[in-house]
Each structure stands twice: as C-alpha cells, then as structure tokens.
Amino acid sequence: MNFPEHELHFFQRFGLTGRLIERCLGEALSAGGDFADLYFESIASTSISVDESLVKSASQGVSAGCGIRVCSGDRTGYAYTDDLSADRLMRAARTAALIADGPSRQQVAGFRETPKASLYPISAADADAGIAPKLELVMRADRAARAYDPRIVQVRAGFNDEMRHILIAASDGTFAHDTQPLARLNCYVIARDGSKSSRGGSGGGGRVEINFFEGDKSPEHFALEAARQAILQLNAVPAPAGDMEVVLGPGWPGVLLHEAVGHGLEADFNRKKTSAFAGLIGQQVASAKVTVVDNGTMPSRRGSLNVDDEGSPTQETVLIENGILKGYLSDKLSARLMGMADTGNGRRESYQHIPMPRMTNTYMLSGEDSPEDIVRSVKRGLYAVNFGGGQVDITSGKFVFSASEAYLIEDGKITAPVRDATLIGNGPEALKYVSMVGNDLALDEGIGTCGKDGQSVPVGVGMPTIKLDRMTVGGTAR
C-alpha cells in the first residue's frame, strides 16, 4: 500500500518511512521467524495535583520508542529501542530475529490498513494543551471536598492525561495506527473526628478530553463522593467474618468479574492449560442468570481501543452466556496456536513490553430483578458498593477483592457501614452462587488499571446489582 506519509505521526515527527518499515520486517524475519511486527509508540503526558490546597507541583513527560517482535512457533523474540533512527531499528530487528534459527523467510507483499472505529476524540493539541483549565479542575475538587464537612482535614486532587500515538506494521500485512487520549481526575481525602481517622477516594475519566469533566462527572462529583465515603467510614463497625449472603452494588464491584473469571479466560493461560478454566468451554461455570462480555468498542471508555496493540480491531466477545463458558480473550499468538479467532485483546503497557491477551471493558449484562428486591431478600449479609483492588491466582482460581464501602444487611435492610474487608472466592465456582441479577447495569467511572506479568493497562468493569448466596467475607466480627 501507499503509506499516507504526511498524515501519520511517526512519519512526520520521527522521519519514519514505508521503506524503513519494510526493511525492518525483512531483517526481523532474516533468521526464519514466521511472524514479525513493529510497534511504534509515542506518549506525551501531563499531571497536576493540588495538595493541602496548594498546587505543589506539575509534571510533563515525553517518551517514544519501538518494540520489534519475532514469533517462531510458540517462541517470541523481542527487542526495543528508544532511538528511532534506521540504524537502531535495524539492530533491534536483528536482535529479535535471533529467536528463530533457519533460513530467511520471504516477506509479505502488501499491507492492508486495519479499518477502525473512532471511539474517542482526537484533538490535535496533544497534551501540550493549556495547563490552566486542568489546574482549575483540581482546585475545584479541593474546594468541594473541604466544603463537604469540617471533619475533612486533608484533600489531594490530581488530574492526569496522556496522548498516545501508536503505529503497528506486521509481516501478516497488518498496518494500523491510532491516537488514544486518556484522562483521569482523582480525589483522595482524610477525615478526622477526635481520635478517629478515615479515608475516602474517588475518581474517573476515560478516553476523553478535558470538557468531559464539565458535565455530570465534574470535579465536585468526585470530590463529594470521596468526602462522603470518608465521613461514612468514621463510624464504621467491624466487618463480619465467614461465609454469608453478599449483595454487590452496580458499577465498580464488577471488579469481581475481572478477577473471578476475566483473567482466567485470557487465552494464553488456557493455551498452556494453566488456568483453572482450561477445558471448560461449553460447561456451566456460573448460574444461568449470568452473562458476561468483554467489549473494547464502547465509546470513550477507559478500556476501549479502536485497534489493539497488535493492530487488530477490538470487538465485543461473549465470555459467559446464561452461565455457560463460551470463549476466551485472545491475541494473535494464542489465536494462531489454538486455531481460534483473534478477539482483538492483544495489549501491552508500552513499546518495551511483549503483547499478551488482556481485558478491555468487562461486564455482566442486566437481569430482571430490582435492586430493592435483591437487598430485601437477604436476612443477614453484606452489601458492598465500593472496592479497592483485587487479585487472582489463575491456576488455583482463588481470587480476592477488597471492599472499601460496605454495609451490613439485617432483615432485608441496609444498616451499619462496616470497616474495610477482603472478600475471597474460587473463580470457577463463585458465580454459580449468583441467585439474583439486577436490572441496573452500570459501568465504573473510569479508574481501573489492570496488572499482569508486570504490565499495567487501563481497563473498565461493570455489573448490575447482584446477589451471591455464598461468599467469604474477611472481617473480624463473629
């Protein structure tokens, strides 16, 4: 194909040419690899924060580089460089090539540009856009949190945004490029009342521009949420300990799905049969009320991508349908080795990292129960609406996630707030206990970051209100 050289960031800014891309791919396959790709990335980021009502500092960063990958069977060679000169790119290609050991393969004839959606705004301004409006956002958050209650004694609010340009060219003919904005506003507070202290935190954003924060998701929205949580926690009682009925609220509690089933359904673990879900396709892994999807195509969402980091279009993938395990999330390597379709879930933290199957936005579809009925049905249990992070052991299936805002349910009524507690379960079993699914699906506010093998990527989660008939709550009260 003819590269639109004057339209593409890397051609313009770094002097990349179509000829150089072809030479690098040729060099990458010079030792007989059967697939090679180049991943160019350039990121400009800014961050500004207010702390003790002062703008104590502001940061700006720029990084650029290229990662070159060569696959030979199930083996991967990888090298990267932060110097995009022809000489250094060719040397990185030569290093990655050494994974293979054979005669040079012929290179592909032509590139096809991946057709792509436009799920998010692409401003020409990069992250160099004025700092003043960002500063105003964090100052507003600070003022709103402090005004909420005199017991709010510390406020930190931060705004981070980045513009990430990527270009991918692969020996299978893939040619794709994208410009990906990402912005997030956070507010963390400390409340004190006599000898009691507590914390609260909130934040959100997505692949959005700054005007997103002028609507519902204003600095005041996040600040008041953080302040509300902290004040509430001042009077929290010890969380209960042991197995009980658990109701999870809508939105961010969907982190349950991310940990309990999402990671276990990433194709690499299933290809290697190291996941507790390996071999369970077609089997019941959840109650019939449960349908879970991963969807990278939702406009403006934190986990969304026009193309993944291998240049494949993203899609909506059904993972669990009416309780039956339907599919895995794959990248090119696992798709090829497992003889399955690539679901467009190949992602990486940066040009310094090898791509692997990752989630995008993972959520459970709405059911038919009203949230009020769900709570009313519980005699004694826990109602958890906000969570910190979670973690899963893919192989044993055991997962945890930590509630930061939860309440006791007593005789069908939500009563006292409880202190932080971790919930634990077994991935292939936990969702079999889902007995009610609400009609109130919500996605999180846009705050999630997922870690796997030392690589962090932005993700989204979502869920309606659900009831689990049994889950282990890690409190201290009997």
Partner 1 sequence: MSTATPIPAAENTINMQQLAADVVERALRAGATEAEVVIREGDEFSTVVRLGQVETLKESGARGIGLRVFLGSSGAYRTANTSTSDFSEGGLAHLVSGAIDLARVTSQDPFAGLPEPNAMGRLTGELGLYYDDVYSLPTAERIEYARRAEAAALSADPRLTKSDGGSFDAATGHKVMANSRGFAGEYRRSYCSLSAMPIAETEKGGMQRDYWFSSARTLAKLDSPESIGAEAARRTLRRLNGRRVSTQQVPIVFAPEIARSLIGNIFEAANGDSIYRGASFWNNQLGQKVASENVTVIDDGTLPGLFGTAPFDGEGLPTRRTVIVENGVLKNYLLNTYTGRKLNMPSTGNASRGLAGTPGIGGGNLFLEKGSVSPQQLLAGVKAGFYITELMGFGVNMVTGDYSRGAAGLWIENGELTFAVEEVTIAGNLKEMLNNVTAIADDLEFRGAVASPTLRIDGMTIAGE
- Closest CB to partner 1 among residues 119, 138: 138
Residue 337 found at the interface with partner 1 (CB under 8 A): no
Instruction: Give residues 389-408 in contact with partner 1 (rule: CB under 8 A).
Output: 389-391, 393, 395-396, 398-402
- Closest CB to partner 1 among residues 319, 354: 354
Q: How many Å separate Cα 25 from the centre of its chain?
A: 30
Among 219, 425, 462, 464, binds partner 1 (CB under 8 A): 425
81 vs 62: CA distance, rounded Å: 15
What residue ranges in 171-315 does DSSP mark as E strands? Answer: 174-193, 196-206, 241-248, 292-295
Among 122, 153, 237, 324, binds partner 1 (CB under 8 A): 153
| Beta bridge mates, 242 | 473
Tokens found for residue 254: 């969907």
| Least CB distance to partner 1 at residue 199 (A) | 4
| Least CB distance to partner 1 at residue 177 (A) | 20
Instruction: Give residues 17-46 in contact with partner 1 (rule: CB under 8 A).
Output: 31
Give the DSSP H/E element, type plus range, for residue 269.
Answer: helix 267-271
Instruction: Give residues 189-228 in contact with partner 1 (rule: CB under 8 A).
Output: 190, 192, 197-199
Residues in the chain: 478
Report DSSP state, residue 172.
Answer: T
- Closest CB to partner 1 among residues 36, 307: 36
Q: How many Å separate Cα 293 from the centre of its chain?
A: 14
Q: Output the CA–CA distances (angstroms, integers) from residue 88 to 41, 65, 93, 225, in the order listed.
A: 15, 11, 9, 49
| Least CB distance to partner 1 at residue 191 (A) | 9
Question: How many chain residues bind partner 1 (CB under 8 A)?
Answer: 78
Instruction: Give residues 272-291 in contact with partner 1 (rule: CB under 8 A).
Output: 272-274, 276
Site string for partner 1, 254-273 (x = CB under 8 A): ------------------xx
The DSSP line for 130-162 is: -SHHHHHHHHHHHHHHHHH-TTEEEEEEEEEEE
Among 8, 18, 22, 76, binds partner 1 (CB under 8 A): 76
111 vs 426: CA distance, rounded Å: 45
| Least CB distance to partner 1 at residue 34 (A) | 15
| Least CB distance to partner 1 at residue 9 (A) | 14
Residue 445 has, within 13 A of its CA and on its CB side, a CA count of 21
Site string for partner 1, 94-113 (x = CB under 8 A): -x--xx-x------------
